[in-house]
Chain A
Amino acid sequence: EPEVTQTPSHQVTQMGQEVILRCVPISNHLYFYWYRQILGQKVEFLVSFYNNEISEKSEIFDDQFSVERPDGSNFTLKIRSTKLEDSAMYFCASSRTDRRNTGELFFGEGSRLTVL
C-alpha cells in the first residue's frame, strides 16, 4: 500500500542551526502539506503546496520556514534558524484532492525535531 515516508525520524540540533526535513509523498497525490505537533498538543497546520507553489500557510509558517519540491518525488521543509520552540513532531501529508474538499490526508510517520 502506498505511503508517505519521512526522513529523518529524529533529529537533534542546536538552536540557530538550519534543519531540512524530507518527505516523499504518495506518488499520484497532487497536494502536499506539513503539519506539526508539539508534544501533548494539537496537530497544527503549517503549509500546503500545490502545483509547485505554496497554496496556503498558517501564522506559524513565518519567514524562518520554507518548503520546496526539488524534484518529482521529494517535498522538503526547511527551518533556517531553529528556536527552542520549534521542537515538535513534524508530519508530512499528501492528498489526491485539496484537503479543503474532503480533508482526507495521508500522513507520514513524522520527524521528531529536538532543538537544544
Chain B
Amino acid sequence: TQLLEQSPQFLSIQEGENLTVYCNSSSVFSSLQWYRQEPGEGPVLLVTVVTGGEVKKLKRLTFQFGDARKDSSLHITAAQPGDTGLYLCAGVSYNNNDMRFGAGTRLTVKP
C-alpha cells in the first residue's frame, strides 16, 4: 500500500504571501490529483497531472508533477482568505491501480 505524505500538515499565513505544499511517496503514480475541501463539504477536484515533469496552472495555483511521478507540489501565489481549506492529494498507483488520498495540508490565510 503506497503512502502519500503531505507536508506541512498545517500552514497559517497572511494574505498576499506565497506558499508551497508537498505530496510525496515512494511509489510511482500513473496520475495524481489535487483536491480542495472546505469544512463540512466534499473534496473538489482542482487538477489532474499525468506526465512526469508536468506543470499546470490554475489562476494563482501552480501544480507540478515530479519527473519520476512520485511526488507533486502545489504553489499558491499571493494567497487570499478564500484559499483557506484542506488541500488533498490523491494518487493512482502505477503498479496496482490502487488510489489513495493523503491526509492533507490545512491552509489558513489570514486577512
Which A residues fall within an 8 A CB radius of B?
A: 4, 41-45, 91, 93, 99-110, 112
Given contact pairs A43-B37, A109-B41, a sample of 4 additional A-B residue pairs in the complex whose CB atoms are under 8 Å apart: A102-B50, A103-B99, A105-B90, A112-B40
Main SS of the interface on chain A?
Answer: mixed
8 A Cβ contacts from B96-111 to A = 97-104
B21 lies within 8 A of chain A by Cβ: no
Report the minimal beta-carbon distance from B25 to chain A, rounded to whole angstroms.
Answer: 14
Report the minimal beta-carbon distance from A7 to chain B, rounded to whole angstroms.
Answer: 14
Q: How far is the CA of A91 from the CA of B97 in the complex (A)?
A: 21
**Given A42-B102, A99-B92, A99-B99, A110 and B40 touching (CB < 8 A)?**
yes
Report the minimal beta-carbon distance from A49 to chain B, rounded to whole angstroms.
Answer: 15
**Which 7 pairs across A and B sit closest by C-beta, in order of nearness?**
A107-B42, A100-B97, A43-B101, A103-B33, A103-B92, A91-B42, A42-B103
- B85 CB contacts on chain A under 8 angstroms: none
The residue in chain A whose Cβ has the minimal distance to the Cβ of B38 is: A109
Q: How far is the CA of A91 from the CA of B45 in the complex (A)?
A: 14
Interface size of B by Cβ–Cβ distance < 8 Å? 25
B66 lies within 8 A of chain A by Cβ: no
Residue contact A41 to B43, C-beta cutoff 8 Å: no
Residue contact B41 to A102, C-beta cutoff 8 Å: no
Residue contact B31 to A43, C-beta cutoff 8 Å: no
Residue contact B42 to A103, C-beta cutoff 8 Å: no
Report the minimal beta-carbon distance from B101 to chain A, rounded to whole angstroms.
Answer: 4
- A106 CB contacts on chain B under 8 angstroms: 45
Residue contact A108 to B102, C-beta cutoff 8 Å: no
Residue contact A110 to B91, C-beta cutoff 8 Å: no
Residue contact A109 to B97, C-beta cutoff 8 Å: no
